C-alpha cells in the first residue's frame, strides 16, 4: 500500500468538507421545514388524529426501507467501486437494476399492507379504524423512490439536486397545504394527512427526475440486466437490505410499539420527541451523505489513510454539533416540544433519554457507512441488528408497565451498547477508527496497515 502525502489527504478533506457544508445547509433547512411540517400537522389535526398519522408515517417509513431493497446503500458502494475498476457498464447496470428492484418491491409491500389493513378491518368489522394503514400504503413507494433516487445522484457527486426535492420542496409543500386546509375549516384526519404527504412527495420526486436529467445525471430504470446484477450482487444487496431495515427499525419500531400498547396520544408524544432528538445527528448525517462514496472509492483504491481522514473529520464535526444540540435540549427541551402543542412538553424526559442514545451515535462516528462501504454489511447486521433486536423484544415487556419513558430508556441503552461494539469491531477488522479517539486520522498521520 502506498502512503499518501499530506497534500493528497488535505485535498480529500477539502473536497469532503465543501460538499458536507452544502449538504449541511440543505439538511439544516430540511430540519426546520420538517419541524414546521409536524408542528402544522400536530396543531391542525388534534392529538388522536396526529397519533394515527405518526403510527402510519412511521410504519410507511420502515416498509419503504424494505422497498428500497438495500439499493440506496448498494449504489453508493458499487457506482464508485465499478468506475474505479474501469467498469462503467457494470456501474450503469447496478443503477438501472436498483430502480427495477425498488419499483417491484414498493408495489408488493404496498399491496401487502393494504391486505393486512383489510384483514384487520374485516376481523374487527370496522374498516374505518384502519384507514390510516390503507393510506400509509400509498406512501411506501414514493418514500422508497425518494431514498434511492437521492442515493443515485449522490453517488454521481450531486448534492443540491439529490437533496433539495425531498428535503426542501416536499417539506415546504406539506405544511403549506395542511395549514391552508386548516384555515379553511377542513377536518384533517390521519389518513388525509398521509394521503397528502404521499401525493406531494411524488410530485417532488418528479421534479427531481426532470432536473437531474437536464443537469446530465444518469437516472434510468431497466429490467434487462437485473438477472446479471442479482447473480453478481444479489447476496450483498440482501445484506444491505437487512442492514437498512435494521436502521429504520431502530428509529421507528418504538413508535409502532407505543401505538400498539398505549393510547394514540402517547404515539404523538414519542414521535415528536424522537424527531426532535434526531436533530442531534443532523450534521453527522449530512456529512455521511457525502463521505459514503468517498470511503468506498478510497478503500477499494487501497488508499486507507484517505478513507480514515474523511471518517475522522465526519466524527469530530458531527460530535461537536451533537453536543451543542444536546445542551440545548437539556435547557429548553420542554419549550421546543411545546411548539407541537402544550401537552407535548411532557415529553422532555423522553427527549433527553433518546438524545443520550443518539449522542453515542455521534461519538462513535459513521461506523455503519464504513462497514457497508468496505464489504462488512453482514457483520453490521449481526452485531447492530442483534443488539437492537434484543432491545425491541425487551420493549414489548417494558412499554405496558413503564410507558414511553421505558421505551426511551431501552432504546437509548441498546443504542449505546450497539454503537460501541460496532465501532470497536470496525477498528479491529477494517483498520479504520470511526470513534473520537482517532484525532490523527484527520491530519493523515495514521500509519497505513499492510
- How high is the mean pLDDT in each 10-residue block of the chain (450 residues)? 46 51 69 78 83 88 86 85 86 94 94 94 87 93 93 84 87 88 85 93 93 89 91 78 75 81 82 87 72 76 79 83 92 89 85 93 86 84 90 93 93 93 91 75 46
pLDDT value of residue 447: 46
Q: What CA–CA distances, in Å, run from 312 to 320, 435, 437?
A: 12, 7, 9
pLDDT value of residue 99: 95
Instruction: Centre a 10 Å sphere on the Cβ of residue 320 and count the other Cβ atoms it contains.
Output: 12
Within a domain: 204: yes
Within a domain: 450: no
pLDDT value of residue 410: 95
Domain count, the chain: 1
Alpha-carbon distance of 209 to 220, in angstroms, equals 9
pLDDT value of residue 4: 46
Within a domain: 141: yes
> Residues 57, 354, 322, 424: is their CA dihedral positive or negative?
negative
Within a domain: 369: yes
Question: Tell me: the pLDDT tens digits for 215-231?
Answer: 889 988 999 999 998 88
Within a domain: 449: no
Q: What is the pTM of this model?
A: 0.68
Alpha-carbon distance of 418 to 342, in angstroms, equals 34
pLDDT value of residue 445: 39
Within a domain: 409: yes
Query: CB under 8 Å to 18, separation ≥6 — which residues?
Result: none
Within a domain: 1: no
pLDDT value of residue 443: 53
User: What range defines the domain where residue 259 resides?
Assistant: 6-443
Within a domain: 448: no
Amino acid at each position: 500500500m502506498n502512503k499518501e502525502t499530506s497534500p493528497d489527504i488535505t485535498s480529500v478533506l477539502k473536497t469532503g468538507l465543501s460538499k458536507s457544508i452544502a449538504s449541511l445547509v440543505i439538511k439544516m433547512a430540511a430540519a426546520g421545514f420538517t419541524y414546521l411540517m409536524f408542528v402544522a400537522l400536530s396543531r391542525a389535526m388534534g392529538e388522536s388524529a396526529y397519533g394515527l398519522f405518526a403510527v402510519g408515517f412511521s410504519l410507511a417509513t420502515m416498509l419503504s426501507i424494505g422497498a428500497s431493497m438495500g439499493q440506496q446503500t448498494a449504489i453508493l458502494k458499487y457506482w464508485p467501486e465499478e468506475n474505479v475498476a474501469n467498469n462503467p457498464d457494470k456501474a450503469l447496470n447496478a443503477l438501472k437494476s436498483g430502480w427495477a428492484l425498488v419499483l417491484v418491491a414498493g408495489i408488493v409491500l404496498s399491496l401487502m399492507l393494504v391486505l393486512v389493513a383489510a384483514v384487520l378491518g374485516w376481523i374487527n368489522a370496522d374498516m374505518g379504524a384502519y384507514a390510516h394503514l390503507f393510506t400509509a400504503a400509498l406512501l411506501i413507494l414514493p418514500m422508497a423512490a425518494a431514498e434511492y433516487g437521492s442515493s443515485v445522484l449522490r453517488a454521481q457527486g450531486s448534492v443540491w439536486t439529490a437533496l433539495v426535492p425531498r428535503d426542501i420542496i416536499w417539506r415546504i409543500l406539506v405544511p403549506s397545504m395542511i395549514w391552508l386546509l386548516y384555515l379553511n375549516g377542513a377536518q384533517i384526519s390521519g389518513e388525509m394527512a398521509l394521503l397528502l404527504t404521499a401525493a406531494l412527495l411524488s410530485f417532488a420526486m418528479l421534479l427531481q427526475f426532470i432536473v437531474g436529467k437536464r443537469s446530465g445525471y444518469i437516472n434510468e430504470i431497466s429490467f434487462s440486466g437485473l438477472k446479471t446484477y442479482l447473480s453478481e450482487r444479489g447476496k450483498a444487496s440482501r445484506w444491505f437490505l437487512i442492514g437498512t431495515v435494521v436502521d429504520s427499525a431502530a428509529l421507528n419500531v418504538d413508535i409502532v410499539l407505543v401505538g400498539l400498547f398505549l393510547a394514540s396520544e402517547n404515539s404523538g408524544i414519542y414521535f415528536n420527541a424522537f424527531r426532535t432528538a434526531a436533530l442531534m445527528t443532523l450534521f453527522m448525517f449530512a456529512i455521511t451523505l457525502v463521505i459514503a462514496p468517498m470511503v468506498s472509492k478510497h478503500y477499494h483504491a487501497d488508499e486507507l489513510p484517505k478513507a480514515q481522514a474523511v471518517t475522522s473529520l465526519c466524527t469530530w464535526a458531527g460530535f461537536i454539533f451533537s453536543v451543542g444540540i444536546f445542551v440545548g435540549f437539556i435547557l429548553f427541551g420542554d419549550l421546543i416540544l411545546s411548539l407541537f402543542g402544550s401537552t407535548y412538553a411532557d415529553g422532555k424526559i423522553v427527549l433527553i433519554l433518546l438524545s443520550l442514545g443518539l449522542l453515542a451515535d455521534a461519538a462513535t462516528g459513521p461506523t455503519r457507512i464504513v462497514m457497508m462501504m468496505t464489504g462488512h454489511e453482514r457483520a453490521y447486521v449481526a452485531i447492530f441488528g442483534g443488539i437492537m433486536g434484543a432491545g425491541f423484544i425487551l420493549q414489548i415487556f417494558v412499554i405496558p408497565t413503564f410507558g414511553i419513558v421505558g421505551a426511551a430508556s431501552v432504546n437509548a441503552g441498546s443504542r449505546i451498547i450497539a454503537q460501541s461494539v460496532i465501532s470497536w469491531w470496525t477498528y479491529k477488522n477494517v483498520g479504520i477508527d470511526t470513534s473520537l479517539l482517532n484525532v490523527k486520522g484527520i491530519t493523515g498521520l495514521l500509519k497505513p496497515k499492510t
